[in-house]
Chain A
Amino acid sequence: MDYFFVILIEILYSIASLVLIGAGLAIIFGMMKVINLAHGEFMMLGGYVTITSVNYGINIFLSILIIAPATVGLIGLVVERLVIRNLYSRLVDTMLATWGLSLFFIGVVTMIFGNTTTGISTPIPGFSIGTYQVGGYNIFIIMISAFLLISAYFILKKTRAGLIARGSMQSAEIASALGYSPDRVYMMTFFCGSALTGLAGAVLAPLVGLVPSSGGAYIAKAFITVIAGGPSLVVGLVSSASLFGIVNQLFTFLYSPVVGEVALLVAAVILLRLLPRGITGSFFKDRL
């Protein structure tokens, strides 16, 4: 029974971290049809901002929940104005340019922090279920993800901003018909998406040793979670994160973490081959 709970928490944690990793990318891709290949580096930046501000003596939760998202959001804003804005509706070019940006950020961080591993310890102690030890911080991550999903759902469904967002997802013309310039909507979207990405990077930072090239580990997972999710933002993210999270944990339990990773990637390739429009392109249509 205890073992069952431990596995359940591990699986939930695996799903939650995929949701976190994918959320920012999903918003930017869903609304702007822009694939931000610098997504992983935005997460990496979120992590570095957190570690730096903690080292300056700022409270860790303040750093994670406020400072990191705000900083990365602002970086995203600058990137959108300088680069992305010139490339709308040129999907491949935005992928290439953001790939360039990702290399640029890796370079910048390497120059500032050096090519060494940094990290901070988790602020929440673990606890035990029966004879098993469980990380308390994992529970925190599960809660953050759940909170994000629920609030995203309500914002999209109930608020005026959500209405505009849903309109822009259909087409840019709907946003302008509602009286908002697509330019502004895109700017805000990129800001929100980047901030969320920064938050994800910050939340996960205490769990990993951070190096300038850490982003590469995230981008593929984020990428496949979002693409495999398909057109619906919330349902798509949850369903693909669940699928991949379960596959990942299952193979990790059975074999090793590396096999788990590889199984996740292979599952993604198979899924995309079978359902080229993603899970919500074939099931759960017309949901948020």
Chain B
Amino acid sequence: MAGSFSRDVIATIGLTVVVIWILPYVISTFTITVLIVYGLLGLSLGLVWGYGGILCFGQAVFFGIGAYTYAISAINIGESTLPMLLSIIVPSLFAALLGAMMFYGRLTDVYLGVITLVVTLIFYRFINSTAGPHYKIGNAQLGGFNGIPGFQTLNIPGQPSSYIWGDGYFYFCAVVLAIVYLGVSILLRSDFGRIIVGIRENETRMSLLGYDVRARKTILFAIGGGIAGLSGALFANWGEIVTPSVFSLGQSAEIILWCIVGGLGTRFGPILGAAGLSYLKFLLGQQSFVDNTLITGLILVFFVLFLPKGIVPTIVNVWDLKFGRLLSDRFQKPRRNRKLRLNG
């Protein structure tokens, strides 16, 4: 992990300022808001997959649970502060349960993929079938495929009638993303974060060193679930309606695509991938010549075949090769031949 934390903070603040001040001249704030929300969702999988090595085919589940938790509790409570917190806590707890079930069962990659995929489908099917009037939680109708409209949107804490919307909501989302990004940075610099990366690199060795791999993966999975849930709540507030499509397989596929395209093992890659691809989708949505899904699919295949590392790591590599190598060659002496040796 190169660079110091203070540099991270400065870079994050700088970038946030750019996004808040300059981007609105190019793209409408309404659109940037959803790009930011997707960026947060991308970051959640980027953390779990890129640093923890856990390939989750169902990150959309936590996104969806976050969105539905917010909508349902906002209708029942009529104020947004507690629902926002619940939309982090509930998916996080669910992720902890699901993760514990999978990791304590010593399931490998493929089975992890199957189970997360199947869980996504269960939610999708179930929520879609809740159209009947008896599917109610408190005052909230689940509404089946029509979704839940008309819930209390974000307000200033304690003042249910002072809504945060429009440009205000855009600033709010940008700051949330910046804070979560810094939180993830702190997490990855902590001992826990470094151990997690060790587990990604070699799970067997880490457990032979005495680390309880299962517990740590479960915790990481829960953190990722919480971040995805938060982005779900932000998404619900942005759209002012939640529908079962938040649980769809297509949504899960897109999150994975963002991470691959942006670059795994980086924090910024998945955010960039999410925002970039969603914007591309938005632009493509305005034409009807080529189908959107077709292009998404082609991009995914292209990246897996030709650019498996993703954009950000590739750019960093090229940069290192062009400039880093020059510098280090000039300033470092060539290393002497090394031999195994025991001192003392």
Contact = CB atoms under 8 A, between A and B. Distances in A.
Interface of A: 35, 83, 86-87, 91-93, 95-97, 99-108, 110-111, 216, 220, 223-224, 227, 258, 261-262, 265-266, 268-269, 272-273, 276
Nearest to A102: B297
Contacts of A105: 297
A276 B107 contact: yes
B304 A97 contact: yes
Contact of B118 (A97, A216, A265): A265
Contact of A276 (B111, B113, B292): B111
Interface in B78-133: 101-102, 105-111, 113-115, 117-119, 121-122, 125-126, 129
Interface in B263-321: 290-302, 304-305, 308
A224 B118 contact: yes
Q: Which 5 residue pairs of A and B lie closest in terms of their CB atoms, listed nearest first?
A: A107-B294, A100-B300, A103-B297, A104-B297, A100-B301
B256 interface: yes
Q: Which of A83, A99, A111, A224 has the most CB of B within 10 A?
A: A99
Contacts of B109: 91-92
Nearest to A261: B125
B305 A104 contact: no
B297 A258 contact: no
B113 to A, nearest CB: 6
Nearest to B129: A258
30 contacts: A35-B113, A87-B304, A93-B304, A96-B256, A99-B300, A100-B257, A100-B299, A100-B301, A100-B304, A103-B293, A103-B296, A103-B300, A104-B294, A107-B290, A107-B294, A107-B295, A111-B290, A111-B294, A223-B117, A262-B126, A265-B125, A269-B115, A269-B118, A272-B105, A272-B107, A272-B114, A273-B115, A276-B105, A276-B106, A276-B111
A262 B107 contact: no
Contacts, number: 116
B260 interface: yes
Contacts of B101: 273
B71 interface: no
Contact of A35 (B107, B110, B121): B110
Contact of B111 (A108, A220, A227): A227
A224 B73 CA distance: 34
B196 to A, nearest CB: 18
Contact of B119 (A95, A102, A111, A269): A269
A100 B257 CA distance: 9
B55 interface: yes
Contacts of B299: 100
A107 B293 contact: yes
A252 B293 CA distance: 33
A107 B126 CA distance: 26
A51 to B, nearest CB: 19
Interface SS of chain A: helix
A89 to B, nearest CB: 13
Contact of A266 (B122, B129, B249, B290): B122
B291 A107 contact: yes
A56 to B, nearest CB: 24
A99 B291 contact: no
Given A262-B125, A268-B118, 11 more contacts: A87-B304, A92-B113, A96-B260, A103-B253, A103-B293, A103-B296, A108-B291, A258-B126, A258-B129, A269-B115, A272-B111
B205 to A, nearest CB: 20
A103 B126 contact: no
Contacts of B290: 107, 111
A96 B293 contact: no
Interface in B42-87: 55
A233 B324 CA distance: 53
Q: Which of A83, A224, A265 has the most CB of B within 10 A?
A: A265
Nearest to B126: A262
Contact of A108 (B106, B115, B294, B296): B294
A93 B308 contact: yes
Contacts of A268: 114, 118
A86 B55 CA distance: 21
A101 B301 contact: yes
Contacts of B122: 262, 265-266, 269
A91 B114 CA distance: 13
A42 to B, nearest CB: 14
Contact of B294 (A91, A103, A227, A273): A103
